[in-house]
A and B are shown apart, each in its own frame.
Chain A
Amino acid sequence: MAKPLVSFRDVGKTYRSLHGADYPAIERFSLDIEVGEFFCLLGPSGCGKTTVLKMLAGFEAPTSGQILMEGREVTGASRDRGVVFQGDDSLYGWLSAVENVEFGLRMRHVEKAARRERAMRYLELVGLRGQEQKYPAELSGGMKQRIQIARVLANEPAMLLMDEPFAALDAQTRSLMQAELASIWRTTRTTVLFITHDIDEAVTLGGRIGVMRAGPRSDVKGVVEVSLNGARARTDDTFLRYYKQVYEMIRDEVAKSLARAE
């Protein structure tokens, strides 16, 4: 197999606390993500999946182990790793949709006509043609997530990190966005790390699904390879089989995390 794009090697993250005990969120977390794959990281709430994403994004440093991308250690945020956040608070409210999408290109001093052209291409790809002059506050939740996706894609990163990007959307919009993301991914083939707590979403989107254990000291419990070709119908037997397989892996972890919460 080719060299993985990203390697987590025995990564640990302990949150230090001024009062009370330190919290070891992640411990001995190891995982490889291959070039061009759509990897879903699934886990019960509070298991540290977002922590994993933040460390790979470079927003937080691991307390032990290392994270390698293309053989180099991740030491901070970089435009190699574009991030799509769960909420809309990462958008710039004072910029129009197209200006938001251009942001990364503008920071790199890409000439105005060229960056406008590229931004429009990606707005079209996410289905926002005609909305480019609107400001985020004038757009719906689903449209705002499309801006985020276009903003990251226009920057052409080596990989996309998505932190439950559809979790705040209503069910209809969510399933529409999932279908569109799947089709965008088939066109661009950008490597994706997609964080979710929704089994259905993971089976719908993921080429591989990594199931995490309940925290503290969370790591990868197992990885399920999903070989579904083309469209993934939720009523399909194969789809349901994968759903059940993942469900059985995660069930105990959810129970554990609920028990801890009480």
Chain B
Amino acid sequence: MRLAQRVWTGYGGYAVGFASLFVLWQLASLYLVSSVLFPPPTVVFKKGLALAKSGVLFEHLWASLQRILAGFVAGSLLGIPIGLAMGSFRPVRKLLEPYTEFLRFIPSVAMITVAVIWFGIGEASKIFLIIYTTIFIVILNTAAGVSAIAPNKIRAAESLGASRAQIFIHVALPATVPYILTGMRLAMANSFTTIVAAELIAANDGLGKMLWDGRLFMLVDEIFVSLVTLGILGFATDRMFRWSIYTFAGRYSPTGG
């Protein structure tokens, strides 16, 4: 009974929430709008299943996902050390802040034009854009995490005999983990926006390209398949991040004890 209750409060609400979303969509497309321009979920799922069977859906999905992962990993690997350095050393922060504070206000979508001119319409331009959209959020969050470390954590380590390098590795780094993960989570959400926009404008495959083709050839069903896939994919990756933050980083708090 207790277990059933826990499962219900944990997932039951979600299940009902999602189910209601599709029921409402079904009702709206059948009775409210009733147009081929707004297909009901049953039609979209049938189409999605067909596209999945033929492999077309996975080709597009995989193309987008690959770009996101490559850019996201590269952006995080660059952003984390830069953020740590900016948070730890005032001169580094002073030096790099003009870059981060200036560039983070130029949206990655605006950079598509430049990216295509510089790198062409191949993979390079997309990966560049994902790196661009990832790196600043990761830098800012990492740096914020470093400066949020309780001074007493550092002081305690000093008077326990830790060297500066040890304090960095054993105190500053673990204390910043939740901030880094939060930055990466936000960056992942941005990556989805960016990749779709980039693929809409210049790409040979990917979910964004699928959207664009759907518009060109009036394949409304395919547009919806692409949209639903984006939603599911985004939701799944975000849950993965939330889960990893919760399980790995629940204890890693920069301020609390």
- Give bound CA distance, A151 to B152, whole Å: 14
A90:B170 contact, CB within 8 angstroms: no
A89:B159 contact, CB within 8 angstroms: no
B150 contacts A by Cβ under 8 Å: yes
- Give bound CA distance, A216 to B177, whole Å: 41
> Which positions 59-106 of chain A face chain B at CB distance < 8 Å?
59, 76-79, 81-83, 85, 87-94, 103-104, 106
Q: Which residue of B lies closest to A96 (CB)?
A: B251
Knowing A107-B162, A107-B166, A137-B257 are in contact, say whether A90-B156 is a contact too (CB < 8 A). yes
A78:B251 contact, CB within 8 angstroms: no
> Inside 8 A of B158's CB, which chain A residues have their CB?
58-59, 76-77
> Inside 8 A of A93's CB, which chain B residues have their CB?
251-253, 256-257
Knowing A57-B155, A83-B155 are in contact, say whether A91-B160 is a contact too (CB < 8 A). no
A48 contacts B by Cβ under 8 Å: no
Interface residues of A, dominant DSSP:
loop
A92:B174 contact, CB within 8 angstroms: yes
**4 closest residue pairs by CB, A with B:** A88-B257, A79-B161, A104-B160, A77-B158
Knowing A83-B159, A103-B160, A137-B251 are in contact, say whether A89-B170 is a contact too (CB < 8 A). no
- Give bound CA distance, A87 to B152, whole Å: 9
Of the candidates B153, B159, B163, B166, which one forms a contact with A92 in the assembled complex, judged by CB atoms under 8 Å apart? B153
B256:A107 contact, CB within 8 angstroms: no
Contact size class for B? 20 to 34
Knowing A92-B171, A137-B251 are in contact, say whether A107-B163 is a contact too (CB < 8 A). yes
Q: Which residue of B lies closest to A54 (CB)?
A: B155
Contacts A83-B159, A88-B256 aside, 15 further interface pairs with beta carbons under 8 A come to A58-B158, A59-B155, A76-B158, A79-B159, A82-B159, A89-B257, A92-B153, A93-B256, A93-B257, A94-B251, A103-B160, A104-B160, A104-B162, A107-B162, A107-B166
> Which positions 124-161 of chain B face chain A at CB distance < 8 Å?
150, 152-153, 155-161
Of the candidates A82, A94, A161, which one forms a contact with B160 in the assembled complex, judged by CB atoms under 8 Å apart? A82
- What is the interface of chain A, defined by CB distance below 8 A to chain B? 57-59, 76-79, 81-83, 85, 87-94, 103-104, 106-108, 135-137, 144, 151-152, 155, 157, 161
- B163 nearest CB across to chain A (Å): 7
Q: Which residue of B lies closest to A139 (CB)?
A: B257
B251:A90 contact, CB within 8 angstroms: no
> Inside 8 A of B150's CB, which chain A residues have their CB?
89-90
> Inside 8 A of A90's CB, which chain B residues have their CB?
150, 152-153, 155-156, 257
Interface residues of B, dominant DSSP:
helix
> Inside 8 A of A135's CB, which chain B residues have their CB?
251
B155:A107 contact, CB within 8 angstroms: no
- Give bound CA distance, A119 to B32, whole Å: 70
- 23 residue pairs of the A-B complex, CB under 8 angstroms, read A58-B158, A58-B159, A59-B155, A77-B158, A78-B159, A78-B161, A79-B160, A79-B161, A82-B159, A82-B160, A83-B155, A85-B152, A90-B153, A90-B155, A91-B257, A92-B171, A92-B175, A93-B252, A94-B174, A103-B160, A107-B161, A137-B253, A151-B156
B244 contacts A by Cβ under 8 Å: no
B20 contacts A by Cβ under 8 Å: no
B255 contacts A by Cβ under 8 Å: yes
Most buried by A among B158, B159, B171, B177: B159
> Inside 8 A of A94's CB, which chain B residues have their CB?
174-175, 177, 251-252
> Inside 8 A of B170's CB, which chain A residues have their CB?
103, 106-107
